[in-house]
Structure 1
Amino acid sequence: MKRAGFVLILMLFLPLFLIGQRYYLPAGKPSVKVKFELVNNLIIVPIEVNGAELSFILDSGVGTPILFNLSDQDSIQINQVSEVTIKGLGQGEDAKALRSRGNHFKIGGVQNQNQQLYVVMDKSLNFSPSLGVPVHGIIGYDLFQNFAVEISYTGNFIKFHDPDKYKHKKGKKFRTFPLQLDHKKAYVKGAVVLEDKEEIPVKLLVDTGSSDAVWLFTDAEKGLELPEKNYRDFLGQGLSGAIYGHRTKVNSFKIGDFELRDAKAAFPDMETFSALKNLGDRNGSVGSEILKRFNMVFDYPNRKVTMRKNSKFGDAFHYNMSGIDLKHNGMRYIVERIADTNGIVVQEDGANFGNVQILLENKSKLSLVPEIIVSGIRAGSPSDLAGLQEGDLILAVNGKRVHQYKIQEIFKMLNEKDGKHIKVLVERANQDVLVSFVLKKIF
């Protein structure tokens, strides 16, 4: 079953080209601040590529920037192009791509006049429907390598600091840890406790491009074995196909003396990493479901990261209790009444309904709104047992018409709390169908 996922995990295995590319701050400025949008734990930043305004996921797990999901409406010039084949996570085939050099990237006041990039031609690689916002690519190491990069998940901003001038903050709330860099990727050391067993030290890839919490690689000798309480699930979409594995939780996850209890975790199928010949001493990855609980400074030039708890630290870890995955599926028309009980027409703000609005007899309007469909159902989940089906068009959740909400808000409605009764109105084969179920705590 093909499913759209929210987790983005991409890995390139390509030769490293020394082309002298470098990002730089404006003359005389010690730092530049850039606002971002946080969508499903992922940082979405606006970047100009050769003058074209695009949206990128900040993904510390990737080396060279990758462009994808370029539609007929996207006009972008790329320079010095050649064809290549690239391989990423997933069990599918290698992807055809274009390699381009000599491109101008600009994020806020930070610029690079000589950026190499890859353009993936496969139109199926598209994360916009699942995230509900346009995403044209990912960028990581090349942007991190020249700065001390401050990320505020509570303030929704990134600050690029001159690493030679930036002073890491000290105090009882701050912790600074070594950051190991290897093949354009950053690693930190931590520890996990599984099923009340002893603490297990782990080396984890820092992956801001994963919306998940912790991924662990099975290693019986080290004691990293899948806990008894788990369920099989779709984990995300890689460059070379879907990624599956088992979701579970760990009793404890630690970085230094920062500890998170009952942390969400997953054990991906190791076949996913078949393209990576040697994982070395890596034991998994830490994603943004963990990272968002800290405000931090990644200092690649000086090989360290400084972390401080933020207001998200104590948030509970949320699981997909309903078993429903959602995605955007284009647009559709709806007719809405806009008259009050006295028949007086009330003109509503149409910002939520797109650009098309037609008044009908002064009492209704025809609006063009996003179409949200069920993109996947987890086998044995409450929604599956209640009869919800892949492809169902979501109309309302507990009486709330969904076209007024972002896709992440709808997902939250469907997974609010254990024991909550959920009624989902869907359109199936041109008929309205009401499906009811009760959310059940997974662990």
Structure 2
Amino acid sequence: MKRVVFTFVLLFGISFLGLSQSPFVIQNKKKTDKIKFKLINNLVIIPVKINGVELSFILDTGVSKPILFNIFNVNETLKIKNAQKIVIRGLGEGEPVEALRSKNNVIQIGEAVSVNQDLFVVYNSKLDFAPKLGIPIHGIIGYDFFKDLVVKINYVSKTIKIFESETYKQKKCKKCEILPLYFYNKKPYINAEVTIDAKQIPVKLLIDSGGSDSIWLFENTSLGIHVKEAYFTDFLGHGLSGSVYGKRSKVDAFTINSFTLHNANVAFPDSTSISFARNHKDRNGSLAGNVLKRFHVVFNYKKSSVLLKKSKFFNDDFSYNKSGIELEQNGIRLVREKDNSTRITTLNDAKAINNDETRVVYNASYKLSVKPAYTIVELRENSPAEKAGLQIGDIVLKINGKETYGLTLQKCTQYFYEKEGKTIKLKVDRLGKQLDFKFTLKKVF
């Protein structure tokens, strides 16, 4: 079955117990620091130094130990200390995977440093998310960072402020909600409520900043948690133990205390893919990045609390890809571009000399540049793009007249989330031949 994938979901769902390490300490007098991050597909991507080598990590509340999974894209020599082979399991339908457990590593995030840190290295080529996100991602970090510090995430300014617990003072905030966190296997859970078919259902959800979806729910007919009639089957994400599939739909409303979001996106993963995740019997699903970004969030693990305040993204519509196209940054293109170092020369001919005039000649030159190639890797069955004749493997050269090599992967994909009825014109390269296509965006439901 053909399927469309836009949302990126990091599905490790694993925990490691009984490992000792030193805490993160902020190395300045103020005991606070601000860190810039990249927000890509609702994921927080931060710079992290591992033993002196700077890498890009996803900040993931759903993981308990730092995990490296893409060290082949590291330009510098990364030393992994005191490593021993182990077997771990995460979400997905496959078998457990081998990994290395490494001790006594130095990890630095901004000015926060831990000098005796455990981490895990997974050698799995399927965990290369650069094609989906457009930038290299080398790993994830979660509990070990959050447990030692107060972490304030501002999705609007794309900054994280960190504080040592003793120096953090919460300012009065009338529009804020401070909610209790509940921990299981070092992962944070929150109580919320979903409305399905006009029935309000209390749910306990894992807070999972490592997923770009909105909400995941585990089907439970006895509680009234079920897929509505309007849904489509989809690939939901990669886990350590394989791929996860399920159904995408909507809930009437999603509520956290006084905050309510209407017509929120929801995914129902197949039960075979999440058997490991359901070891926590009270868990009803996950709350991910497309909801978290609608708030300013302050995590205070030591006080088992999270603060929420509406951000400017709060009222953004929940939408699905209306084209049926899933793009990846897959390989490179050679593009002929005008050289910015174009020379300007002046020539005098006989007539110009007699009239004291100068003729200016622009000697334009061109160069070949290496640019990313955005390839169609999935097409939803019966989608507007499929009906228009587009095919998997087509390289998208232009979208609505704009050269894709000048756009990020995220900017290209945003075109497919615009309003219903929007016309999309694509120029593609198919086996060396350039073809033009046109279709109209249509709602999934």
Displacement over 6 Å in runs of 4+: 1-4
Report the secondary structure of 2:320's partner residue. coil
Number of residue-to-residue matches in the alignment: 425
CA contact 1:4–1:237 (8 Å) conserved in 2: no
Shift of 1:375: 1.6
Report the secondary structure of 2:303's partner residue. coil
Cross-structure match for 2:178: 176
Cross-structure match for 2:214: 213
**1:367-403 C-alpha deviation (Å, 9 max, x unpaired):** 1111111121112211122222111111111111100
Shift of 1:124: 2.2
Instruction: Choose which of 130, 133, 137 in structure 2 pairs with 1:131.
Output: 133
CA contact 1:190–1:202 (8 Å) conserved in 2: yes
Instruction: Choose which of 101, 104, 107 in structure 2 pairs with 1:102.
Output: 104
Instruction: Choose which of 129, 141, 151 in structure 1 pairs with 2:153.
Output: 151
Cross-structure match for 1:409: 411
Shift of 1:167: 2.4
Shift of 1:76: 0.2
- What amino acid does structure 2 have at the position aligned with 1:200? I
Q: 1:15 to 1:55 in 2, by over 3 A?
A: closer
Bigger mean CA deviation after superposition, 40-49 or 389-398: 389-398
- What amino acid does structure 1 have at the position aligned with 2:300? D
- What amino acid does structure 2 have at the position aligned with 1:130? K
CA contact 2:151–2:162 (8 Å) conserved in 1: yes
Q: 1:136 to 1:5 in 2, by over 3 A?
A: farther
TM-score by length of 2: 0.91
Cross-structure match for 1:378: 380
Which aligned pairs between 1:239-250 and structure 2 lie closer than 5 A? Answer: 239-250=240-251
**1:242-277 C-alpha deviation (Å, 9 max, x unpaired):** 211111111111110101111111111121112346
Report the secondary structure of 1:233's partner residue. strand
- What amino acid does structure 2 have at the position aligned with 1:328? Q
- What amino acid does structure 2 have at the position aligned with 1:425? K
CA contact 2:343–2:364 (8 Å) conserved in 1: no
Q: 1:4 to 1:316 in 2, by over 3 A?
A: closer
Instruction: State the alpha-carbon separation in 2 of the partners of residues 309 and 75 from structure 1.
Output: 43
Cross-structure match for 2:93: 91
- What amino acid does structure 2 have at the position aligned with 1:147? L
Q: 1:344 to 1:214 in 2, by over 3 A?
A: same
Cross-structure match for 1:118: 120
Bigger mean CA deviation after superposition, 157-166 or 313-322: 157-166
Q: 1:381 to 1:398 in 2, by over 3 A?
A: same
Instruction: Please tell me whether residue 24 in structure 1 is matched to residue 25 in structure 2.
Output: yes
Shift of 1:159: 1.2
Which aligned pairs between 1:430-441 and structure 2 lie closer than 5 A? Answer: 430-441=432-443
Instruction: State the alpha-carbon separation in 2 of the partners of residues 266 and 378 from structure 1.
Output: 16
Cross-structure match for 1:348: none
- What amino acid does structure 2 have at the position aligned with 1:302? K
Instruction: State the alpha-carbon separation in 2 of the partners of residues 274 and 98 from structure 1.
Output: 24
Which aligned pairs between 1:22-421 and structure 2 lie closer than 5 A? Answer: 22-26=23-27, 28-71=29-72, 73-195=75-197, 197-276=198-277, 278-337=279-338, 362-421=364-423
Report the secondary structure of 2:125's partner residue. coil
Shift of 1:151: 0.6
- What amino acid does structure 1 have at the position aligned with 2:414? K
User: How big is the alpha-carbon RMSD for the aligned residues of Structure 1 and Structure 2?
Assistant: 2.0
Cross-structure match for 2:358: none
Q: 1:415 to 1:18 in 2, by over 3 A?
A: closer
Higher helix share: 2
Q: Which runs of 5+ in 2 are unaligned?
A: 345-362
**1:273-325 C-alpha deviation (Å, 9 max, x unpaired):** 12346231111000010000100111100000111001111111121111111
Report the secondary structure of 2:199's partner residue. coil
Report the secondary structure of 2:10's partner residue. coil
Q: Which runs of 5+ in 1 are unaligned?
A: 346-360
Instruction: State the alpha-carbon separation in 2 of the partners of residues 85 and 7 from structure 1.
Output: 25
Instruction: State the alpha-carbon separation in 2 of the partners of residues 155 and 335 from structure 1.
Output: 36
Report the secondary structure of 1:124's partner residue. helix
Shift of 1:6: 4.2
Cross-structure match for 1:356: none
Report the secondary structure of 2:321's partner residue. coil
TM-score by length of 1: 0.91
